[in-house]
Amino acid sequence: MNKSIAYRRIGSFGNVHEFKSYIEQLGIKLPVDEELQSPPDSALGKSYELQNGFRIGNRFCILPMEGWDGTLDGKPSNETTRRWQRFGLSGAKLIWGGEAVAVCPEGRANPNQLLINEKNVEALYELRKELVDHHQQSVEYSDDLLVGLQLTHSGRFAKPGPDRKLRPRTLYAHPILDKKFNINPDKAQLRDEEIEEIIENFVKAALFADEAGFAFVDIKHCHGYLGHEFLSSFDRPGRYGGSFENRTRFLREIISGIRNSVSGLQIAVRLSAFDWIPFTMGQGNIGQPESVGNYNYAFGGRGNTGINLSEPVAFLELLKSLDIELVCISAGSPYYNPHIQRPALFPPSDGYLPPEDPLLGVARQIEVTARLKKAFPELCIVGSAYSYLQEYLPNVAQNVIRNGCADFVGLGRMALCYPEMPGDILRGKKLQRKAICRTFSDCTTAPRQGMISGCYPLDEFYKKKPEAGKLKRYKKEYRI
Ligand SMILES: Cc1cc2nc3c(=O)[nH]c(=O)nc-3n(C[C@H](O)[C@H](O)[C@H](O)COP(=O)(O)O)c2cc1C
């Protein structure tokens, strides 16, 4: 496969004006502030007050970023702890979930995913504390820091055993994904009684998260995992499929279970607000839709690659009616259309060359988030997919927040290689160019090859690991 496709590299722009004129050339809507506000007046530095009166200290959020590096019994390792410490020292005042934590062993996405249960509560307590302590050391004040935990069941993408084999638990027979991942739909499909058990596991997990001191739990509904798959279970018969009411029953039952058993814990939802047909490698290794037919399984989608926000709007309406205020917007899935979820110049090993300038992917998520924010001014909305903006991330982030197009700017990959970025921006410091994420996708390729995740190209800690050499050799062999 070619190394990348010829889109302009962000690092090649001399200044924000050149970047802006490229955006104009592309003909996309991407809001860019030419001037960055100085720290005391900066929109990004303003606090945000939640309905319960809690003030979150600034507008940066660290998105959940798992590391495939927990112990086999689901506890954090030294690498996990280091990542969370760095999330804390970033200066961002909202920590959206830390990373995906499985609510039961069968729901783990890999044998090193964190697992929440009675035996692991103490370790999760310590992990959160490490994050808060590092935050305190870095910015001296942590009363305005909000830390949640992301709860998940990996559903169709569960790989819970040390053999790393897919043990999918699905909700319906999928016309493309079953074939793509070699899934026998009759064996994989969850029965309603099994779903009820999973709901109980989420409720128990929320109790443990509360015990471990987290302020909120995110009931993950994104990226093709179980919560997200419910939303497209149009064909599933019974209580959990078909109508919008049935497809959201899973979430509603989890919420009512949590509310009946724990008080004071906030509930949040991360949502893939739109989805597309799965993509595959086409001519020239460039991504293309898996089929040309009319695809009907994309929540928030229209046909193969269109967007229709009518159901996502109904979903946010439902969240509002359930007194859920915290919502994080994402898109698609890293397993079947990574370019809409985490725009990158260099694809992960099992991906494809970007079929569009990755800036289009960034602009798409920003625009969808803005439309949802405008429709729900009372919800606290976090946006995703900013890392590809690199040097110009602050210029876009400031414009988005200034214009009320989102309440928080979420950082994913950038938080792995350059966790200090929010602090540097908020202090008005020059960005550290060498630390900026260039979207090489090693953080995705490594785990896809059974290694721990991390920023192998830029973070000295990972550069020195034996996995770095292994990854280099693998990439050379496959010329990705
Ligand atoms: C290595 C890696 C791990 C991730 N882990 C999670 C996760 O645990 N939960 C989640 O909701 N999203 C996860 N994501 C998605 C990110 O939170 C984020 O949505 C995505 O990277 C796009 O944001 P960015 O452009 O800032 O990277 C992960 C992404 C990467 C690359």
Ligand 1 atom, smallest distance to 441 CA: 31
- pLDDT over 70 percentage in the chain: 99
Q: What is the mean pLDDT of residues 404-420?
A: 98
Residue whose CB lies within 8 A of the most ligand 1 atoms, among 87, 413, 467, 471, for a mutation test: 413
Encode pLDDT of 154-165 as tens digits: 999 999 999 999
For 62, the token pair is: 């660290």
In sign, the C-alpha dihedral spanning 439, 440, 441, 442 is negative
**What's CA 403's distance to the chain center, in Å?**
23
Distance from residue 238's CA to the centre of ligand 1 (Å): 33
What's residue 2's pLDDT? 45
Partnered with residue 326 across adjacent β-strands are 268, 380
Q: What is the mean pLDDT of residues 100-116?
A: 98
pLDDT higher than threshold 80 for residue 186: yes
For 326, the token pair is: 């915290």
Work out the number of other CB atoms within 10 angstroms of the CB of residue 203: 21
Give the span between the Cα atoms of 195 and 253, in whole angstroms.
Answer: 11
Give, for 187, the enclosing helix (H) or strand (E).
Answer: helix 185-188
What's residue 4's pLDDT? 52
What's residue 293's pLDDT? 78
Encode pLDDT of 304-323 as tens digits: 999 999 999 999 999 999 99
**What one-character DSSP code corresponds to residue 459?**
-
Distance from residue 358's CA to the centre of ligand 1 (Å): 16
pLDDT higher than threshold 50 for residue 1: no
**Number of C-alpha atoms within 13 angstroms, CB side, residue 432?**
14
CA distances from 255 to 217, 258, 328 (A): 10, 5, 17
Give the span between the Cα atoms of 366 and 79, in whole angstroms.
Answer: 31
120, with CB counted inside 10 A (0-12, 13-18, 19+), is buried
Please provide the average confidence, as pLDDT, over all residues in the chain: 96
pLDDT higher than threshold 80 for residue 391: yes
For 396, the token pair is: 């876009």
Give the span between the Cα atoms of 401 and 409, in whole angstroms.
Answer: 8
Q: Where are the alpha helices (DSSP H) in 64-181?
A: 78-89, 121-139, 177-180
Specify the pairing of strand 279-281 against strand 287-289: antiparallel
CA-closest candidate to residue 278, choices 175, 147, 124: 175
Q: Who contacts 253 (Cβ-Cβ below 8 Å, separation ≥6)?
A: 196, 199
Residue whose CB lies within 8 A of the most ligand 1 atoms, among 10, 60, 61, 65, for a mutation test: 65
Ligand 1 close to Cβ of residue 448 (< 6 A): no
pLDDT higher than threshold 80 for residue 479: no
Q: Who contacts 27 (Cβ-Cβ below 8 Å, separation ≥6)?
A: none
For 323, the token pair is: 């007194």
Give the span between the Cα atoms of 384 and 391, in whole angstroms.
Answer: 16
For 211, the token pair is: 């015990």
Q: Are 336 and 328 in contact (CB under 8 A)?
A: no
85, with CB counted inside 10 A (0-12, 13-18, 19+), is buried
Distance from residue 187's CA to the centre of ligand 1 (Å): 30
CA distances from 84 to 67, 112, 301, 414, 439 (A): 10, 16, 34, 14, 21
Encode pLDDT of 336-380 as tens digits: 999 999 999 999 888 999 999 999 999 999 999 999 999 999 999
pTM metric for this prediction: 0.98
pLDDT higher than threshold 70 for residue 5: no
Ligand 1 close to Cβ of residue 99 (< 6 A): yes
Residue spans of beta strands (DSSP E) within 236-295:
266-272, 279-281, 287-289
Q: Are 58 and 91 in contact (CB under 8 A)?
A: yes
Q: Are 261 and 274 in contact (CB under 8 A)?
A: no
Distance from residue 148's CA to the centre of ligand 1 (Å): 15
Ligand 1 close to Cβ of residue 330 (< 6 A): yes
Ligand 1 atom, smallest distance to 99 CA: 8
**What one-character DSSP code corresponds to residue 390?**
G
Give the span between the Cα atoms of 350 and 211, in whole angstroms.
Answer: 39
252, with CB counted inside 10 A (0-12, 13-18, 19+), is middle
Q: Are 410 and 90 in contact (CB under 8 A)?
A: no
> Which region holds residue 387: left if phi is over 0, alpha if psi is between -120 and 50, else beta?
alpha
Ligand 1 close to Cβ of residue 160 (< 6 A): no
Q: What is the mean pLDDT of residues 230-257?
A: 98
